[in-house]
Structure 1
Amino acid sequence: MLFETTSYLIEKFATVRNQTIALIEPLEAEDFIIQASSDVSPPKWHIAHTTWFFERMILQEYSENYQVFHPKYNYLFNSYYNSIGPYQPRQQRGMLSRPTVEDIIAYRAYVDGQMIEFLKEERIPEDQRKIEALVEMGLQHEQQHQELILMDVKYNFFTNPLLPAYQSKSLEQDVPENALMETSFIPFEEGLVEIGHTGDGFAFDNESPRHKTWLHPFELATRPVTNGEYLAFIEAGGYEKSEYWLSDGFATVQKEGWKAPLYWMKDDAGEWTIFTMNGVEPLRLDEPVCHVSFYEADAYSRFKEKRLPTEAEWEWASRQVDSV
């Protein structure tokens, strides 16, 4: 959906960009460069890459007099856009002690200022729609990276023996802890259904085209699996019994030494704890289990004599559940 006014577009741009800065406020300078795995990126790279998107995809393409902040940033902060050119290998993003965090914050401020002035310019409706669509894409992209910042910081901190906390917030528990809550299921009939983007609002390209697919009858649980329920799988020897696992999954369990979901630990008294953004906390048995791989989720489903929903089943159910 195109933005109705330039002022709304600028407001949304500022809101999303400021949220990224708010997310990095708890970090110390040393935290910004850590890359504990090739599967994560340093926070400094995230805040630079999201800025690079607006510079490269909008300002360099559509602003006549734009001057790039630094000619090498196009190489350093491109991700996988092969059509644009070569880029810093993902596994080497943590090697970049320079530019400094201060340099990157200055880069963001420069691009933000240029973007706001650019968005104030008048242009023909066709070009305006194109710019609005690109800005919306950039903001959706940045919100994805906001999630990645938290995900990657959490993993980086977990690899530190000090197990530092990203924040310190008390989380109230409204529901009494109960690891064995009753589970009900919603039935769905078989039939030919339509899934995919409907054409209303923003969507990424992999959500289209809308298409028909046949679904067999299935039932979907009305709530997520809890930590307590997953703990029962662990205590039943779930990680040691190959019959619950896909062959690749069980090979990974043995190779990686998996005994529980990522971030689960036992304290000195043998009690289960979990590493969170607040640091190490007791494992709350009634909370939904998270940080499990596809292999682990699939193995648990087999343990319960169930299965995981397919993508088509999940999408169809999510669209229908309010009317059930």
Structure 2
Amino acid sequence: MGTREKIETVLTRARERTAGLTDCVDGEDLVTQHSTLMSPLVWDLAHIGNQEELWLVRDVGGREPVRRDIDELYDAFKHSRNSRPSLPLLNPDEAREYLRTVRDKALDVLDGSTFRGRPLEEGGFAFGMIAQHEQQHAETMLATHQLRSGAAVLTAESAPRVGGAIAEDEVVVPAGEFTMGTSDDPWALDNERSAHPVYVPAFVIDAVPVTNARYLEFVDDGGYARPELWSERGWAHRLDAGLEAPQFWENDGCGTWWRRRFGVTEPIHPQEPVVHVCFFEAEAFARWDGKRLPTEAEWEKAARWDPFSGRSRRFPWGDGEPDASLANLGQRHLGPAVVGGYPSGASPLGVHQLIGDVWEWTSSPFEPYPGFAAFPYREYSEVFYGGDYRVLRGGSFGTDPVACRGTFRNWDHPIRRQIFSGFRCARELPGDDC
């Protein structure tokens, strides 16, 4: 697939998903703020168009502005999420018309692009960046759907794959240097760059993400009532927020746990990865299990390093793009697959489901790589470095393939759990560092 065809494909796929997430509810639902953690869906809708106008129509295309008057309204750094409902936002019909106008102009710019010249245009980077931006907001809108009340409005293509047996519970990752990050992926974002060598001591990592069944053992063993399992900050947050189980879990009082997922209440599936846990919950579970969370470097080495060739691959299975046989991505389903559901997507060492299903918390704060350079704007990554964030890796069932790579870095506050977040554990390898 050529660059132009690839761009058309990812832009179309993103817009179809945006429409699906917003056309399924009425106008009142679109302008309602379903949680102070999230924007009204109509804000996301017009913000997607505004970013496309700024970068593709005005910057790459050099065209006249479509709606310069709304730039400030849709600047994410000028208005907090909880303040956005009070802004004079475009109504749903105006937002949709704005998106159509901008997309027509952006496709006209695409028709005339050579994908050469400035770094922003080289290899179609600006178009890839905008496709990733829209899909990132689509995942955010999906999280908003999870927070909204009322009847279910979303449907999925099919149920996730049925799991299979996993040969080992844990996998040993040998000590050694590997290449972390990337310098040659044309659509990689600034915080993924540049490729650099990192030495990682030998360690052991879970072969699959922590499941609901395993997490329920932690709950039943009083994990939420034992301060010795929690960090000082984590315990204070557990008390302040009243945490007793993952978000959206409910106990019926008769020994059965249920969860609410996109308007449907259903029994918890024991073999699905646990989802909607914050960093502090993941950290406490790991301590209860006699383990810890992996560092970001450990996670990436487990996901990308090929022990046979010694090189870092783009994905655990190789360099080829994800498809439905390799990973649960792209909102094809409305939840994670049970563990063992994607054996073809495992790493060479036998670590499963590193891509898709649930974002995985790591122990690492969000920091720049050596030689980091902000591109094309500081507000994507640089302003977040050094803040109160932890890195998540791997994507979720709600992450589109265009916004997911073995090098892709996500980050959030350690108290957040409305995101599709889970985790797996790691531990030191006893004995010699071999």
Normalised by the size of structure 1, how large is the TM-score? 0.85
Match of 1:174 in 2: 162
Cα contact 1:43–1:153 (8 A) shared by 2: no
Q: Give the whole-Å Cα distance in 1 for the aligned partners of 2:225 and 2:9.
A: 53
Cα contact 1:33–1:97 (8 A) shared by 2: no
Q: 1:121-200, aligned counterparts within 5 Å? A: 121=112, 125-126=116-117, 129-130=121-122, 132-155=124-147, 157=148, 160=149, 163-167=150-154, 171=159, 174-175=162-163, 184-200=169-185
1:258 Cα deviation from its structure 2 partner: 0.5
Match of 2:354 in 1: none
Deviations 1:69-120 (A, max 9, x none): 3x3310111213xxxxxx3333211224642101100110111111122222
Q: Give the whole-Å Cα distance in 2 for the aligned partners of 1:215 and 1:294.
A: 22
Distance 1:64 1:298, change over 3 A: closer
Distance 1:183 1:189, change over 3 A: closer
Distance 1:182 1:164, change over 3 A: farther
1:312 Cα deviation from its structure 2 partner: 0.2
Match of 1:263 in 2: 248
Is 1:284 the counterpart of 2:284? The answer is: no
* Percent of residue pairs bearing the same amino acid type: 28
Is 1:109 the counterpart of 2:100? The answer is: yes
1:205 Cα deviation from its structure 2 partner: 0.8
Distance 1:125 1:256, change over 3 A: closer
Q: What are the ranges of 5 or more consecutive residues in structure 1 without an aligned counterpart?
A: 81-86
Report the AA paired with residue 267 of structure 1.
Answer: D
Q: Give the whole-Å Cα distance in 2 for the aligned partners of 1:256 and 1:196.
A: 36
Distance 1:292 1:12, change over 3 A: closer
Q: What are the ranges of 5 or more consecutive residues in structure 2 without an aligned counterpart?
A: 306-315, 317-346, 350-434
SS of 1:299's partner is helix
Cα contact 2:171–2:206 (8 A) shared by 1: yes
Cα contact 2:56–2:109 (8 A) shared by 1: no
1:214 Cα deviation from its structure 2 partner: 2.2
Report the AA paired with residue 54 of structure 1.
Answer: E
Q: Give the whole-Å Cα distance in 2 for the aligned partners of 1:59 and 1:126.
A: 17
Cα contact 2:219–2:245 (8 A) shared by 1: yes
SS of 2:197's partner is strand
1:172 Cα deviation from its structure 2 partner: 6.8
Could you tell me which of 43, 51, 57 is aligned with 1:53? 51
Report the AA paired with residue 58 of structure 1.
Answer: L
Distance 1:168 1:267, change over 3 A: farther
Distance 1:277 1:4, change over 3 A: same
1:256 Cα deviation from its structure 2 partner: 0.7
Distance 1:89 1:292, change over 3 A: closer
Could you tell me which of 283, 287, 302 is aligned with 1:302? 287
1:46 Cα deviation from its structure 2 partner: 1.2
Cα contact 2:183–2:195 (8 A) shared by 1: yes
What value does the CA root-mean-square deviation take over the aligned residues?
2.7
Match of 2:70 in 1: 73
Report the AA paired with residue 200 of structure 2.
Answer: L
Q: Give the whole-Å Cα distance in 2 for the aligned partners of 1:44 and 1:132.
A: 28
Match of 2:111 in 1: 120
Cα contact 1:58–1:131 (8 A) shared by 2: no
Q: Give the whole-Å Cα distance in 2 for the aligned partners of 1:62 and 1:173.
A: 41
Report the AA paired with residue 202 of structure 2.
Answer: P
SS of 1:75's partner is coil
Could you tell me which of 33, 36, 48 is aligned with 1:35? 33
Deviation larger for 121-130 or 199-208 = 121-130
SS of 2:272's partner is coil
Report the AA paired with residue 132 of structure 1.
Answer: G
Report the AA paired with residue 146 of structure 1.
Answer: A
Q: Give the whole-Å Cα distance in 2 for the aligned partners of 1:58 and 1:191.
A: 42
Is 1:214 the counterpart of 2:199? The answer is: yes
Cα contact 1:33–1:96 (8 A) shared by 2: no
Report the AA paired with residue 43 of structure 1.
Answer: L
Report the AA paired with residue 313 of structure 1.
Answer: E
Q: Give the whole-Å Cα distance in 2 for the aligned partners of 1:206 and 1:212.
A: 16
Cα contact 2:169–2:207 (8 A) shared by 1: yes
Distance 1:245 1:99, change over 3 A: same
1:122 Cα deviation from its structure 2 partner: 5.9
1:173 Cα deviation from its structure 2 partner: 7.4
Q: Give the whole-Å Cα distance in 2 for the aligned partners of 1:309 and 1:294.
A: 12
Cα contact 1:35–1:41 (8 A) shared by 2: yes
Greater Cα radius of gyration, structure 1 or 2: 1
Q: Give the whole-Å Cα distance in 2 for the aligned partners of 1:7 and 1:292.
A: 38
Q: Give the whole-Å Cα distance in 2 for the aligned partners of 1:172 and 1:188.
A: 29
SS of 2:184's partner is coil
Deviations 1:110-143 (A, max 9, x none): 1111112222236694269448221111111111
Report the AA paired with residue 285 of structure 1.
Answer: P
Is 1:235 the counterpart of 2:216? The answer is: no
Normalised by the size of structure 2, how large is the TM-score? 0.65
Match of 1:313 in 2: 298
